[in-house]
């Protein structure tokens, strides 16, 4: 037996997360003097409708946050410079970040336009037994130099630990964080104790309510309970899931990007929704964010799926595959609204969750991009058709023939 600790069983996972990504890219692209604006709000349409995609830290101090209606944001922070999201620049930056990261490991999974999981397990020898935090600092430095973006990196033995560590790594005003936070193997349990249960991905408002009924609000509340108690309160599946999460245990693998075949956004409501207008408003926000993710990835999508989970946990979905690939909020929302109407007509009960997924993803090559911005699905020009076919062939080559991938899994926002 070797005296060295067996690290083969311990994964080395990082999450690289760009700081205020859309704001930073808007400043670099500098439309309408955004480069100089301290109070900067990115998002919406040129007429200042739609929702906030991101806001500078200074604007956030006025209460502005992402997904807020732009009209409200402008009222809260009247001095702000407002610019639309520079989608092409964001897609380019996203690709630049991915390219830098893939030099360090091929196991890179893009979780959103500016979040990338890396699995560095087994690279110890390659990096001369360098500590994971030191590797993370080198990666961060390479990203700063080559992309001109500030990227925070969290690390540990699981995606969960990496994600939570990245949230603490961010160099915010008033914090002494330096952009890297790595949790050492064995320290996961102690690390978790500082978090609220709501900080753990996938513990949404409804689950929080259930937990609060048992007096569970923080990780330290929950770790005092036996596994059997949690199972009795929450059921076998959720009780065991929570028992593991609060100890930092998460076995989900980093899935390199060839496995990503769909982009989805879900929302679990604080209270079940039955009102059509209220559901339409949520659907608009979800369609907006899902299509934003697609655009930021430099992609287009052909299939729109709407998922509803009814109050009694019945999950239903409806899909439509379009003749032409799309990426605009307007088209995605129009299709999603029809699908939601169909689902509601089939069964009209309060909904506890709503989701929008975009699949059949294709690379938006520049030729297709010009003509695909807002295509009426029924007007397909032959040249556009050819461009789409090429893009689809390319994506089949890259992602395989199946349209839907890990769909349905909510992405942390
Ligand atoms: Mg970010």
**pLDDT tens, position by position, 189-237:** 999 999 999 999 888 888 999 999 999 999 999 999 999 999 999 999 8
Query: Ligand 1 center to residue 174 CA distance, Å?
Result: 18
Q: Which residues are catalytic?
A: 115
Distance CA 265, CA 285 (A): 9
Check pLDDT > 80 for residue 385. Answer: no
pLDDT at 42 over 50: yes
| 307 touches 282 (CB < 8 A) | no
Domains 190-245 and 260-399 share a fold: no
- Residue 274 clears pLDDT 90, i.e. is over it: yes
Mean of pLDDT over the chain: 82
pTM score, whole prediction: 0.63
What architecture (CATH level 2) is domain 190-245? Orthogonal Bundle (1.10)
Beta-strand relationship, 262-273 and 299-310: unpaired
Residue 379 has pLDDT above 80, yes or no: no
Residue 297 Cα, ligand 1 centroid: separation in angstroms?
14
Q: Give percent of the chain above pLDDT 70.
A: 83
DSSP helix/strand/coil, 104: coil
In 10 A of CB 320, how many CB atoms? 15
pLDDT above 90: residue 47: no
Decide which of 241 and 385 is more confident: 241
Name the CATH topology of 260-399.
Answer: Dna Ligase; domain 1 (3.30.1490)
Tell me the C-alpha distance between 218 and 221, whole Å: 5
pLDDT digits (tens, 9 = 90+) for 70-120: 999 999 999 999 998 888 788 889 889 998 998 888 889 888 889 999 999
pLDDT for 392 equals 43
pLDDT at 387 exceeding the cut of 60: no
Chain centroid to Cα 214, Å, comes to: 30
User: How many Å lie between the centroid of ligand 1 and the Cα of residue 246?
Assistant: 24
The predicted structure's pLDDT at residue 408: 31
Q: How far apart are CA 307 and CA 312, in angstroms?
A: 14
The answer regarding whether domain 21-88 maps to CATH 3.10.20.30 reads no
Sheet arrangement for strand 52-55: 52-55, 40-43, 81-83
Q: Check pLDDT > 70 for residue 282.
A: yes
Closest by alpha carbon to 41, among 24, 25, 57, 55? 55
Q: Name beta bridge partners: 373.
A: none
> What does the pLDDT read at residue 176?
83
CA of 215 to the centre of ligand 1 (A): 32
Asked whether residue 149 carries a pLDDT value surpassing 80, the answer given is yes
Q: How far is the CA of 17 from the centre of ligand 1 (A)?
A: 5
Confidence band (pLDDT; 50, 70, 90) for 59? very high
| DSSP letters for 207-264 | HHHHHHHTT--BHHHHHTS-HHHHHHHH-HHHHHHHHHHTTT---PPP--GGG--EEE
Cα 370 off chain centre by: 26
Every domain of the chain and the residues it spans? 21-88, 190-245, 260-399
Report how far ligand 1's centroid is from the alpha carbon of 20 (Å): 5
What is the distance in A from the centroid of ligand 1 to the CA of 342?
35
260 band by pLDDT with thresholds 50, 70 and 90: low
Nearest to 295 by CA among 233, 373, 220: 373
């Amino acid at each position: 037996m070797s005296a060295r600790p067996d690290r083969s069983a311990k994964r080395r996972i990082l999450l690289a997360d760009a700081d205020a990504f859309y704001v930073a890219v808007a400043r670099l692209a500098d439309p309408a003097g955004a480069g100089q604006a301290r109070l900067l709000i990115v998002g919406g349409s040129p007429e200042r409708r739609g929702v906030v995609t991101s806001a500078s830290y200074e604007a956030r101090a006025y209460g502005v946050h992402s997904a807020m209606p732009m009209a409200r944001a402008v009222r809260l922070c009247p001095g702000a410079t407002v610019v639309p999201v520079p989608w092409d620049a964001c897609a380019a930056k996203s690709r630049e970040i991915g390219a830098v990261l893939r030099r360090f490991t091929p196991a890179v999974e893009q979780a959103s336009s500016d979040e990338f999981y890396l699995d560095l397990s087994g690279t110890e020898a390659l990096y001369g037994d360098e500590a994971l935090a030191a590797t993370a600092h080198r990666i961060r430095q390479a990203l700063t130099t080559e992309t001109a973006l500030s990227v925070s990196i969290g690390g540990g033995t699981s995606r969960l630990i990496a994600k939570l560590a990245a949230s603490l790594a961010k160099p915010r005003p008033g914090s002494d964080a330096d952009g890297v936070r790595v949790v050492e193997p064995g320290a996961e349990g102690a690390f978790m104790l500082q978090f609220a249960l709501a900080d753990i991905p996938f513990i949404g408002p409804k689950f929080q309510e259930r937990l609060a009924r048992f007096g569970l609000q923080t990780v330290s509340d929950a770790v005092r309970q036996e596994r059997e108690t949690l199972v009795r309160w929450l059921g076998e599946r959720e009780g065991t899931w929570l028992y593991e999460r609060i100890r930092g245990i998460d076995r989900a693998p980093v899935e390199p990007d060839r496995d990503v075949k769909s982009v989805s956004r879900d929302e679990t409501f604080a209270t079940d929704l039955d009102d059509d207008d209220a559901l339409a408003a949520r659907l608009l926000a979800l369609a907006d964010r899902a299509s934003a993710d697609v655009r930021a990835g430099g992609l287009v999508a052909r299939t729109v799926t709407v998922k509803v989970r009814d109050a009694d946990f019945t999950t239903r979905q409806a899909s439509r595959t379009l003749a032409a690939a799309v990426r605009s909020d307007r088209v995605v929302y129009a299709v999603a609204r029809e699908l939601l109407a169909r689902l509601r007509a089939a069964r009209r009960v309060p909904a506890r969750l709503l989701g929008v997924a975009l699949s059949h993803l294709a690379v938006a090559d520049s030729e297709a991009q010009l003509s695909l911005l807002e295509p009426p699905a029924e007007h397909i020009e032959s040249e556009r058709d050819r461009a789409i076919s090429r893009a689809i062939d390319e994506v089949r080559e890259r992602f395989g023939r199946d349209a839907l991938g890990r769909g349905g899994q909510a992405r942390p926002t």
